[in-house]
Structures are given as C-alpha cells and as structure tokens.
C-alpha cells in the first residue's frame, strides 16, 4: 500500500484526549436584579419604616421561581437588617436570593454547578478544556481546573488541534 492509499486517520481521536465542554454541565441562569439603592432616602440613608412599606409592594408574579441578585449599586452603607428584610420578603414570594451584582451572582451559580459535578470519569485522563464554550469565563475555568487538577493526568485549554498546556501531573519516581 502506498502512502497515497493509506486510510485517513484522525490523529486527534487516536490521541486519547478527552474534551471537556462546560456548556454541557452549566446552565447560565436568568437573574432578576434587585438594587437596594432605589430605596435609599436622598441616596444615602435607608429608613426602616419606608423600606418595610416598599417591600410590601413586591409581588409574587415578579419574583416567584426566580433567582434574585440582591445588591446596592451605591457606596451607601446599609444596615445588616436591610439585607435580611429584603431576603426574607423575596423568599416569602418564592425567590431564591444571592447577594451580589448580576455578574457576581451568575459566577457564584456557575461555580456551584461545576462543584456539584461528579468528575471521577476524568481520573488519569488527558483533558482538553474546550476553548470556545459559552459557559467559560475566569471564574468557571478557575473552579474547573481546581476540581480537575487532582484527578487528571494532564489538562490543556483550547481545541484538540491547538491547545495550551495548563497542568501535567509530575512523574512519580
């Protein structure tokens, strides 16, 4: 058989590399932002009575079954009870609450999803973290490498045809 007659071989497939695509595990959550800054008197002070009244205007239709990012977009110092009152009301309306801006809460939720994955199938594997995943980002990738490094033989980033080495288990002597 001449070189021209040899069958085409997929060297990436034959390499034993396992591609990890975060998008298969992670659901990017839809969040409702609640900014406590809008309840501040003159932009700096939270008055308990007025705040309690405002919380009663929140309705189940707006929050039931939703994930809420509770935050304050100003530099005002809010009393601890304000966070508790707002969270208590939101939970009573059927919401799930995380404190932080939308991006921070999204990252918290994605990190939780990655931490909840059973990664035992990746023990001693040569992994490539897919570089073009919609579920990536600094937080997600940091949590992922933290979870995979103790298990995998090696971890790379990118696509199987073009990777950046991230970590390789040292050779035991």
CA distance 82 to 129: 41
For residue 14, what pLDDT is reported? 54
Do 87 and 56 share a structural domain?
yes
In eight-state DSSP terms, residue 41 is B
57: three-class secondary structure by DSSP: coil
On whether residue 53 sits in a domain, the answer given is: yes
For residue 35, what pLDDT is reported? 98
Do 71 and 17 share a structural domain?
no
At which of 79, 102, 125 does a domain end? 102
Do 84 and 46 share a structural domain?
yes
On whether residue 110 sits in a domain, the answer given is: no
On whether residue 173 sits in a domain, the answer given is: no
Per-residue pLDDT of the chain (173 residues; tens, 9 = 90+): 556 677 765 555 556 899 999 999 898 878 999 999 999 999 999 999 999 999 999 999 999 999 999 999 999 999 999 999 999 999 999 999 999 999 999 999 999 999 999 999 999 999 999 988 777 799 999 999 999 999 999 999 998 788 999 999 998 77
Do 98 and 36 share a structural domain?
yes
For residue 25, what pLDDT is reported? 86
On whether residue 108 sits in a domain, the answer given is: no
On whether residue 8 sits in a domain, the answer given is: yes
On whether residue 73 sits in a domain, the answer given is: yes
Q: State phi, psi for 31 to the nearest 5 degrees.
A: -115, 150
CA distance 117 to 101: 25
Rg (CA), the chain: 24
Tell me, what CATH number does 46's domain have? 3.30.750
Domain count across the chain: 2
For residue 159, what pLDDT is reported? 85
Do 16 and 61 share a structural domain?
no
122: three-class secondary structure by DSSP: helix
On whether residue 111 sits in a domain, the answer given is: no
Do 92 and 61 share a structural domain?
yes
On whether residue 112 sits in a domain, the answer given is: no
- Full domain range(s) for residue 147: 3-25+117-168
Do 153 and 124 share a structural domain?
yes
| Tokens read off for 24 | 């298969």
Do 65 and 37 share a structural domain?
yes
């Amino acid at each position: 058989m001449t070189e021209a007659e040899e069958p085409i071989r997929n060297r990436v497939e034959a390499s034993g590399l396992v591609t990890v695509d975060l998008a298969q595990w992670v659901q990017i959550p839809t969040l409702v932002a609640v900014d406590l800054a809008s309840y501040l008197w003159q932009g700096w002070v939270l008055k308990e009575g007025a705040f309690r009244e405002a919380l009663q205007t929140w309705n189940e239709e707006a929050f039931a079954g939703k994930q809420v990012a509770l935050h304050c977009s100003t530099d005002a110092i809010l009393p601890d009870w304000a966070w508790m009152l707002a969270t208590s009301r939101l939970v009573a309306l059927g919401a799930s609450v995380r404190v932080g801006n939308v991006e921070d809460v999204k990252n918290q939720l994605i990190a939780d999803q990655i931490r909840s994955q059973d990664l035992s199938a990746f023990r001693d594997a040569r992994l490539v973290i897919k570089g073009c995943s919609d579920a990536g980002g600094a937080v997600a990738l940091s949590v992922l490498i933290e979870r995979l490094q103790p298990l995998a033989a090696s971890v790379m980033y990118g696509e199987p045809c073009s990777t950046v080495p991230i970590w390789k288990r040292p050779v035991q002597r």
